């Protein structure tokens, strides 16, 4: 038996605002940051569990403090008992009767819970010698479903239905694992599209990302000035040609009528989707936008606070593309539930990534989905930006525009502290 001996947080902040990398209509000067946690045990294997929350600067310390407060609850706990049924850890935090008042199930506390649960799943994967995508995909359907919390979901998805979905996903699973290891999983690039970039820099990067790196979609930030958007979209479409997909992202900047009017000027550019047109809490607003801008699809989800919001979006058919995020919700169990909901509603999921650690983290869920849930990569792709990967022990690898399937045990988010430590926030 082993016990948890330490839960240590690190407030990493990278000065990305210096180059305006990451800038968009709502977030003009982000400093990509990570509230990173290391969970240590007294086991002889020397393994640690790693998790994090992605933020864009100020407030990263608040997330660290929230994780610290949860760490106190974990110290001395029996590791094998926790990892043997991850539902125990979920209930410990998500259903803490006092902590819950701070959400419930949303915001800083929920994200901090996600970091802690991710770290425990990372440790579970490392002990099993499997990358997280494979650990999840190779759990027995009943065993995985037993870790999931269906509270507030059973009007659309019951545990029995989830087991049935996962059992159906067993068919052809080994072939899909082999295919995934061979070809990887499609990515798309946002590297060219930051609003702070000049037209020339955007065009140069759009060409490089599509023609050299092989991405089959690029995405531009929009929503600051409609004439600028039209000019940039024209140049981007010319740079990438007709066969590479193009999407745009407004990062919640519009009200509903403004979104409809603005996006309907974009039809000439054959956009695949418009992302985050308005507040992520506005289910019916998104539904109205989706109806008014077809055939351009609405995409959202990176700031959707929990599985119950995704449920409502799906019930209202309020988006065409569902974008899960690895650190917005309470860890792997909630992300798995989101994928099961998407499968139930036959919705395409294209995960949010790009920020420090997000590519490393979220690809595991997309790959788990391909192997064990949806069984398809059709129309699906994971966002990619070449940011801060050098600080990870097993950084994301891209080959021909595809994410290479990770083979290292764990969730992929372990950082190289020697290089990252110079980005520790000093206050
Ligand atoms: Mg976005």
Question: Mean pLDDT, 10 residues at a time, over the chain (427 residues)?
Answer: 98 91 84 97 98 97 97 97 97 95 96 98 98 98 98 98 98 98 98 93 97 97 97 98 98 98 98 98 98 98 98 98 98 98 98 97 98 98 95 97 98 95 92
Do 7 and 75 touch, CB atoms closer than 8 A? yes
- Considering the domain architecture, whether residues 88 and 203 belong to the same structural domain is answered as no
- Number of domains within the chain: 2
Last residue of a domain, one of 129, 145, 161: 129
CA distances from 125 to 20, 260, 332, 409 (A): 36, 45, 12, 6
The model's pTM:
0.98
Q: Is residue 146 part of a domain?
A: no
User: What domain range includes position 99?
Assistant: 4-129
- Alpha-helical (H) ranges within 216-357 are 226-240, 256-263, 283-293, 307-315, 332-345
| CATH assignment at residue 101 | 3.30.390.10
Q: 187 alpha carbon to ligand 1 midpoint, in Å? A: 14
pLDDT of the residue at 241: 97
Give percent helix, percent strand, percent coil of the chain, each to the nearest 5: 45, 15, 40
Q: What are phi and psi of 47, to 5 degrees?
A: -80, 145
Mean pLDDT of the chain: 97
pLDDT of the residue at 23: 83
- Considering the domain architecture, whether residues 118 and 194 belong to the same structural domain is answered as no
Last residue of a domain, one of 129, 161, 185: 129
Q: 239 alpha carbon to ligand 1 midpoint, in Å? A: 22
Last residue of a domain, one of 103, 129, 155: 129
Q: 323 alpha carbon to ligand 1 midpoint, in Å? A: 9
Active site residues: 221, 352
Please write the tens of the pLDDT for every residue from 39-79.
999 999 999 999 999 999 999 999 999 999 999 999 999 99
Q: Is residue 156 part of a domain?
A: no
Q: 277 alpha carbon to ligand 1 midpoint, in Å? A: 10
pLDDT of the residue at 26: 87
Q: 356 alpha carbon to ligand 1 midpoint, in Å? A: 14
Rounded Cα gap, residues 382 and 395, in angstroms: 15
Give DSSP secondary structure letters for 24-37.
Answer: -SS-SS---EEEEE
């Amino acid at each position: 038996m082993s016990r948890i001996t330490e839960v240590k947080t690190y407030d990493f902040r990278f000065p990305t605002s210096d180059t305006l990398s990451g800038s968009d209509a709502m977030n003009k000067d982000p400093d990509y940051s990570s509230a990173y946690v290391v969970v240590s045990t007294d086991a002889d294997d020397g393994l640690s569990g790693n998790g994090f929350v992605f933020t864009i600067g100020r407030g990263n310390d608040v997330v660290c403090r929230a994780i610290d407060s949860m760490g106190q609850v974990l110290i001395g706990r029996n590791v094998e008992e926790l990892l043997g049924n991850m539902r125990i850890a979920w209930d410990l935090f998500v259903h803490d009767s006092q902590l819950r008042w701070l959400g419930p199930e949303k915001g800083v506390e929920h994200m901090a819970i996600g970091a802690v649960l991710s770290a425990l799943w990372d440790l579970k994967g490392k002990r099993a010698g499997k990358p997280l995508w494979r650990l999840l995909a190779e759990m027995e359907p009943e065993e995985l479903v037993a870790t999931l919390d269906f509270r507030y979901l059973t009007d659309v998805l019951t545990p029995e239905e989830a087991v049935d979905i996962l059992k159906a996903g067993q068919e052809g699973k080994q072939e899909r694992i082999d295919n995934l290891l061979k070809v990887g999983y499609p990515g798309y690039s946002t590297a060219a599209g930051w609003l702070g970039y000049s037209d020339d820099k955007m065009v140069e990067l759009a060409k490089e990302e599509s023609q050299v790196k092989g991405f089959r979609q690029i995405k531009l930030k929009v929503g600051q000035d409609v004439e600028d958007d039209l000019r940039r979209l024209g140049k981007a479409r010319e740079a990438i040609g007709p066969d590479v997909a193009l999407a745009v992202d407004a990062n919640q900047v519009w009200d509903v009528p403004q979104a409809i009017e603005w996006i309907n000027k974009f039809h000439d550019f054959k956009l695949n989707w418009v992302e985050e047109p308005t507040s992520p809490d506005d289910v019916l607003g998104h539904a109205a936008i989706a109806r008014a801008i077809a055939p351009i699809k609405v995409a959202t989800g990176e700031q959707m606070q929990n599985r119950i919001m995704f449920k409502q979006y799906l019930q209202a058919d309020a988006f065409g593309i569902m974008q899960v995020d690895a650190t917005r919700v309470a860890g792997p169990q909630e992300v798995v539930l989101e994928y099961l909901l998407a499968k139930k509603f036959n919705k395409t999921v294209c995960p949010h990534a790009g920020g420090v650690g997000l590519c490393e983290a979220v690809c595991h869920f997309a790959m788990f989905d391909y192997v064990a849930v949806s069984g398809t990569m059709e129309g699906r792709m994971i966002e990619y930006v070449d940011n801060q990967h050098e600080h990870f022990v097993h950084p994301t690898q891209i080959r021909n525009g595809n994410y290479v399937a990770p083979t290292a045990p764990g969730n992929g988010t372990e950082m190289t502290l020697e290089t990252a430590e110079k980005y520790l926030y000093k206050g």
